[in-house]
Amino acid sequence: MAKIRSRLFIIGGLVLLSAWALIPTDTTQRVRDATTGRMKDTTIRRVPINLGLDLQGGIHLALEVDQSKGPVPDPAEAIHRAERVVRTRIDEFGTTEPVVQVVGSDRLIVELAGEKDPARAKGIIQRTAFLEFRITDMKNLFRDALPEIDKTLRRAGVKTPGQAGAAANVTQLFGADTGKGKAKNKNEKSKAAAKDTTELNAPGPLASLLYQGQLPGEFLVPEEQVPVAESLLARPEVQRLIPRGIELKWGTEVASRAARTYRALYAVEDRPIITGEELEKAQAQRDPMTNQSVVNFTLSRRGGRIFERETGRHVQDYMAIILDGRVQGQPPVIKSQIGQHGQIELGAKPLQDAQDLALVLRAGALPAPLTIVEERTIGPSLGKDSINDGIRAGVVGVALVIVIMVGYYRLSGVLAVSALGLYVLFTLAGLAWFGFTLTLPGLAGLVLSVGIAVDANVLIFERIREELQHGKLVRTAVDEGFKHAMSAIIDSNVSTVLTAFILYLVGTGPVQGFAITLIIGITASMVTAVYVVRTFYMIWLARRPDMVTLSV
Amino acid sequence: MIRLFANANYDFIKWRRWAYGLTAALIVPGFALFLVHGLNYSIEFTGGTLIQVQTTTPVGTGKIRTALDAAGIRDAEIQQFGGANEYVVRARIGAGGVTAEGTTQATAAAVDSALAHGLGAAQYRIVRTEAVGPKVGRELQGKAFLAIFFSFIVTLVYLWYRFEWRFGLAAVLATLHDILTTIAFIRYLNLEVSLVVVGAVLTMIGYSLNDTIIIFDRVRENLRKFRRQNLYEILNLSINETLPRSVLTHGTTMATTLALVLLAGEVLRPFALVMTFAIFTGTFSSIYIAAPILMYIEKRWPGEDARGARAFRPAGAVAPEPRAAPVPPAPSRPQPTR
């Protein structure tokens, strides 16, 4: 009896421990607010099992240093720098539980579980690549080339989308902008720009998509027309007509005016005046005197000399800050010659914007661009479907196993099935306890291992039947059954664990989840099938010491 | 109480040639197909782009094809995937267009914009994207190969340690057979070979070995127990004794894998199908391949358990082969010699 009590004590302890590991806990997550687009903290209550990307939706990216545009001296070192940069950036941008790790010598893995917006996340990561400062198209070379481009496009049979009445909107657009308390000369400028726009607006398939922005070389494109404009600009005949020395770069900012959203397109010089390599520091600040957000930056000594020369030539010009080919924010104007230390003023914009820009600059100090060598994106709805399907398959599978076991082994089958309940509990607790991730193949592994888990019981029960057949007493038959089945159980489980372990070593995320679930499942099944079922038998036999026939 | 195959006494080994024929009939054409056409590797291995789209209405693959063609994306496979309004677009590297590192990304974006034009932006939703560069694909191929290779080595070493080498070799050859039949099976159904399917094959290796081990364990035990029986009889006896267990375990495991096949969704289906087949072939090979091969090995390199292995038939039966060695008649029912 004492033996049974100590066994029950151990089992009870394991159950409590497992239950404790699985109690839903409050976790704080940073999620993006759907309306404002900003990150905010929310507390949710959930079972502490990590779900893989394939179950909760998310993004998996593998990045390498892009060597296609020339060799990078030390890719391994570069990828480590990239890792640090991407990590800082992601943490600051506040994605939920990101994984950033270097795999092998030159690969960076970024996993963003639960990320719902792949474009945004990819944008954040890919923006780490390359920073440069370029002067915008001050001489309006691109704008002047537009009629010629449109003529070519029309000749190629591209129709002009109907844009009647749009011009009025545009005038409104800048009216609203200047209403926000900008300087008077800006107001005049934008009026001029609006006039430009109306002129531009009348003709041409491309020009009708572009609205002149507030500064030379800036154009605004309605968000829904961006793909059209992109495909037009990508045409070779258009590419040929873009003036020499000018390149087109899309902006990152989306401006919404009069119920429409616009994306900025910039015509910039094709030669950077300076690149991120020369950048050493960038810091966001809120000027306490003027209550303005600023970013202070420091260049290397060499960079300072170059910058001094270049900015001297370009006073009053606009300088686009380009990271990964995207213009960051609105290009600031160069007020005077700048040397090694400079300041970018963001005016009344919140400090958050300045911090973002400083982050962009710091990340841009990375000299080599990254290329995505692998990308997997799983939508959250697909993940939810997968969980539901997996659970449904699991329930049906387990129900079948229960029917087979109870139907065939009767009361002993009931013991095995109740042990199976503990088995599922232990396996899930094991996943939670060690912080492993449950993936879709892992879910399959869990269902599969329920089928395999009863194998140990089947071995034992068959052995007991044989022993009973040989005329042994019930008590002896049970003892012998467990004893003789042991070597087969251990052998078979070790071989499965070994292959699963290899799978874990070689596999990637989802497959590793499968291997882990299998290993934990098999370990748990050893405990439940052997130890727990044995204890059940001991209790049963202790209650009925005179039992002659065993329901097995 | 229900008892399946209790005290069964089938002469499994006798049917070995039929079994060989059956398995060869499965493997040979499958392998011929495999050599000619290769396997349907997932883009994880080949590199390329996969996009799973959910449309609001069942548009049919034709319309998606038209949309992609209009955008100049040719040579992409389009497949209905699960429900009537879910489709998968696959563009493999080498199958036109996609060639270099990084362009798989561009393909994904191009498919998206092509669908936006062809179907309308509100008509579809991209639920899954995979873009794998050629380098990653090649690496994964190597890894999968290594995984299968190493699981072989490790299980071999384990078997070597647990059993004597003859048993181990027989078990490994049976497992090799399972891999061959599984490849043939994958080829017949033209299942997509992803890393998860390789995982299924590895699990199958473990599972099939498990099965062989259970029988061999019993063989080892019976060899000690019934000193008068020859190997042929011991093998048959052991297979018969473990038969109820085999039927039960495979019943329960197959119940779960079939549930996965039918209910767990399209992504897991190839995995579940391979596992279901693996259970079948694992059982088959443990009985009809592992045991006869053990006989052959014991015949060729007789060990201490090679009693009557040369005869290849039960003791006491009329010798069909002229060169069979004479064996002493055995008692009709096995007698423990304790």
pLDDT band at B188 (very low <50, low <70, confident <90, very high): very high
Among A85-89, A224-228, B69-73, the range scoring the smallest mean pLDDT is: A85-89
Per the model's pLDDT, the better-predicted residue between A5 and A114 turns out to be: A5
Contact B146, B130 (CB under 8 A): no
Secondary structure percentages of chain A, helix, strand, coil, to 5: 55, 20, 25
Strands A131-135 and A211-212: unpaired
For residue A165, the model assigns a pLDDT of: 40
Test mutation, B44, B141, B162, B203, chain A, max A CBs within 10 A: B203
Separation in Å, CA of A469 to nearest CA in chain B: 10
The three-state secondary structure class of B310 is coil
Structure tokens at B82: 């699960």
Separation in Å, CA of A184 to nearest CA in chain B: 41
What is the number of residues in chain B? Answer: 338
With pLDDT > 90 as the criterion, what percentage of chain A qualifies? 5
For residue B185, the model assigns a pLDDT of: 93
State the virtual CA torsion across A297, A298, A304, A310 in degrees, nearest 10: -10
pLDDT at residue A174 is higher than 60:
no
The verdict on A23 touching B (C-beta cutoff 8 Å) is no
Residue B322 lies in a domain: no
Kindly state whether residues B197 and B287 are assigned to the same domain.
Answer: yes
Cα–Cα distance, A164 to A174 (Å, whole number): 18
**Chain A contact set for B282 (CB, 8 A):** none
Pick the CATH number of A58-128+371-378 from 2.120.10.30, 3.30.450.20, 3.30.70.3400, 3.30.230.10: 3.30.70.3400
For residue B156, the model assigns a pLDDT of: 78
pLDDT at residue A192 is higher than 60:
no
pLDDT at residue A185 is higher than 50:
no
A352: left (phi over 0), alpha (psi -120 to 50) or beta: alpha
Q: Which of A398, A405, A492 sits opposite B210 (nearest CB)?
A: A492
pLDDT at residue B273 is higher than 90:
yes
H/E run at residue B49: strand B48-55
Structure tokens at B92: 């493999």
pLDDT at residue B17 is higher than 80:
yes
**Chain A contact set for B132 (CB, 8 A):** 373-375
For residue A355, the model assigns a pLDDT of: 74
> Would you list the DSSP string of A336-403?
S---SEEEEE-TTS-HHHHHHHHHHHHHHT--S-EEEEEEEEE-HHHHHHHHHHHHHHHHHHHHHHHH
Kindly state whether residues B219 and B296 are assigned to the same domain.
Answer: yes
For residue A148, the model assigns a pLDDT of: 84
Rounded mean pLDDT of A36-58? 68
- Which CATH code for domain A274-365? 3.30.1360.200
Contact A275, A320 (CB under 8 A): no
pLDDT band at A315 (very low <50, low <70, confident <90, very high): confident
For residue A166, the model assigns a pLDDT of: 44
Residue B332 lies in a domain: no
For residue A406, the model assigns a pLDDT of: 92
In DSSP terms, A211 is beta-bridged to: A220
Cα–Cα distance, B178 to B279 (Å, whole number): 10
Separation in Å, CA of A105 to nearest CA in chain B: 14
Kindly state whether residues B171 and B150 are assigned to the same domain.
Answer: yes
Cα–Cα distance, A535 to A415 (Å, whole number): 10
Among A123-137, A217-231, B206-220, the range scoring the smallest mean pLDDT is: A123-137
For residue B309, the model assigns a pLDDT of: 58
Rounded mean pLDDT of A221-234? 81
Per the model's pLDDT, the better-predicted residue between A96 and A265 turns out to be: A265
Kindly state whether residues B204 and B114 are assigned to the same domain.
Answer: no
Domain assignment of residue B258, given as a range: 13-40+137-300
Contact yes or no for B249 and A454 at CB 8 A: yes
Residue B307 lies in a domain: no
If one counts every other C-beta atom within 10 angstroms of the C-beta of residue A119, the result is 10
Kindly state whether residues B149 and B282 are assigned to the same domain.
Answer: yes
Separation in Å, CA of A76 to nearest CA in chain B: 17
For residue A182, the model assigns a pLDDT of: 39
Contact B242, B222 (CB under 8 A): no
Among A150-164, A321-335, A421-435, the range scoring the smallest mean pLDDT is: A150-164
Contact B298, B269 (CB under 8 A): no
Give ranges for CATH 3.30.70.3400 in chain A.
58-128+371-378
Kindly state whether residues B89 and B63 are assigned to the same domain.
Answer: yes
Contact A408, B6 (CB under 8 A): no
pLDDT band at A167 (very low <50, low <70, confident <90, very high): very low
Interface of A with B in 68-107 (CB under 8 A): 68
Rounded mean pLDDT of B145-163? 81
Cα–Cα distance, A472 to A467 (Å, whole number): 6
Structure tokens at A324: 């990964």
Contact A446, A517 (CB under 8 A): yes
The verdict on A447 touching B (C-beta cutoff 8 Å) is yes
For residue A238, the model assigns a pLDDT of: 83
Structure tokens at A242: 């873009």
Contact yes or no for A496 and B211 at CB 8 A: no
What is the number of residues in chain A? Answer: 552
Q: What is the CATH number of the domain that holds B228?
A: 1.20.1640.10
With pLDDT > 70 as the criterion, what percentage of chain A qualifies? 80
CA-to-CA separations, A443 to A125, A171, B3, in angstroms, rounded: 30, 58, 33
Contact A62, A372 (CB under 8 A): yes
DSSP annotation of A534: H
Contact A121, A210 (CB under 8 A): no
Q: Which of A371, A450, A518 sits opposite B101 (nearest CB)?
A: A371
The verdict on A514 touching B (C-beta cutoff 8 Å) is yes
pLDDT band at B277 (very low <50, low <70, confident <90, very high): very high
Contact A301, A340 (CB under 8 A): yes
Architecture of the structural domain at A2-24+379-543: Up-down Bundle (1.20)
Q: Which residue of B has its CA nearest to A552?
A: B1
Contact B182, A500 (CB under 8 A): no
pLDDT band at A97 (very low <50, low <70, confident <90, very high): low
Domain count of chain B? 2
If one counts every other C-beta atom within 10 angstroms of the C-beta of residue B324, the result is 15
Residue B335 lies in a domain: no
Q: Mean pLDDT in chain A? A: 78
For residue B321, the model assigns a pLDDT of: 44
pLDDT band at A198 (very low <50, low <70, confident <90, very high): very low
Residue B285 lies in a domain: yes
Q: Which long-range contacts (CB under 8 A, 24 or more apart) does B70-78 make?
A: B70/B114, B70/B117, B70/B118, B71/B110, B71/B111, B71/B113, B71/B114, B71/B117, B71/B118, B73/B97, B73/B107, B73/B110, B73/B111, B73/B114, B76/B111
Separation in Å, CA of B231 to nearest CA in chain A: 20
The three-state secondary structure class of A27 is strand
pLDDT at residue A181 is higher than 50:
no
For residue A199, the model assigns a pLDDT of: 45
For residue A12, the model assigns a pLDDT of: 92
Kindly state whether residues B289 and B203 are assigned to the same domain.
Answer: yes
Cα–Cα distance, A485 to A473 (Å, whole number): 18
Cα–Cα distance, B93 to A276 (Å, whole number): 34
Kindly state whether residues B117 and B150 are assigned to the same domain.
Answer: no
Interface of A with B in 205-264 (CB under 8 A): 227, 231
Residue B74 lies in a domain: yes
Cα torsion angle, A459, A465, A467, A473, sign? positive
pLDDT tens for A57-89 read 888 888 888 777 667 666 776 676 677 567 656
For A64, residues 6+ apart whose C-beta sits below 8 A from its C-beta are: A75, A79, A106, A107, A108, A370, A371, A373, B135
Kindly state whether residues B75 and B157 are assigned to the same domain.
Answer: no
Alpha carbon A286 to its chain's center: 31
CA-to-CA separations, B210 to B4, B107, B170, B237, B279, in angstroms, rounded: 21, 45, 13, 19, 11
Q: Which long-range contacts (CB under 8 A, 24 or more apart) does A298-302 make?
A: A298/A340, A298/A341, A299/A274, A299/A339, A299/A340, A299/A341, A299/A342, A300/A340, A301/A340, A302/A278
pLDDT tens for A389-418 read 888 898 999 899 999 999 999 888 998 898
With pLDDT > 90 as the criterion, what percentage of chain B qualifies? 12
Q: Which of B100, B155, B268 sits opposite A498 (nearest CB)?
A: B155
Strands A437-438 and A50-51: parallel
Kindly state whether residues B71 and B25 are assigned to the same domain.
Answer: no
For residue B259, the model assigns a pLDDT of: 92
- Angle made by CA atoms A236, A237, A242, in degrees to the nearest 5: 95
> Identity (one letter) of the amino acid at A86?
V
Chosen domain end from B95, B116, B132: B132
Residue B160 lies in a domain: yes
Kindly state whether residues B79 and B156 are assigned to the same domain.
Answer: no
For residue B182, the model assigns a pLDDT of: 92
Q: Which residue of B has its CA nearest to A224?
A: B121
pLDDT at residue A376 is higher than 60:
yes
Kindly state whether residues B158 and B123 are assigned to the same domain.
Answer: no
H/E run at residue A132: strand A131-135
Among A49-58, A271-280, B62-71, B317-326, the range scoring the smallest mean pLDDT is: B317-326
In DSSP terms, A294 is beta-bridged to: A285, A345
Q: Which of B113, B147, B258 sits opposite A227 (nearest CB)?
A: B113
For A534, residues 6+ apart whose C-beta sits below 8 A from its C-beta are: A7, A482
Among A81-90, B169-178, B227-236, B298-307, the range scoring the smallest mean pLDDT is: A81-90
The three-state secondary structure class of A20 is helix
For A221, residues 6+ apart whose C-beta sits below 8 A from its C-beta are: A209, A210, A211, A229, A262, A263, A264, A265
Cα–Cα distance, B1 to B107 (Å, whole number): 62
For residue B231, the model assigns a pLDDT of: 86
Cα torsion angle, B241, B243, B248, B250, sign? positive
**Chain A contact set for B259 (CB, 8 A):** 393-394, 396-397, 400, 447
The verdict on A202 touching B (C-beta cutoff 8 Å) is no
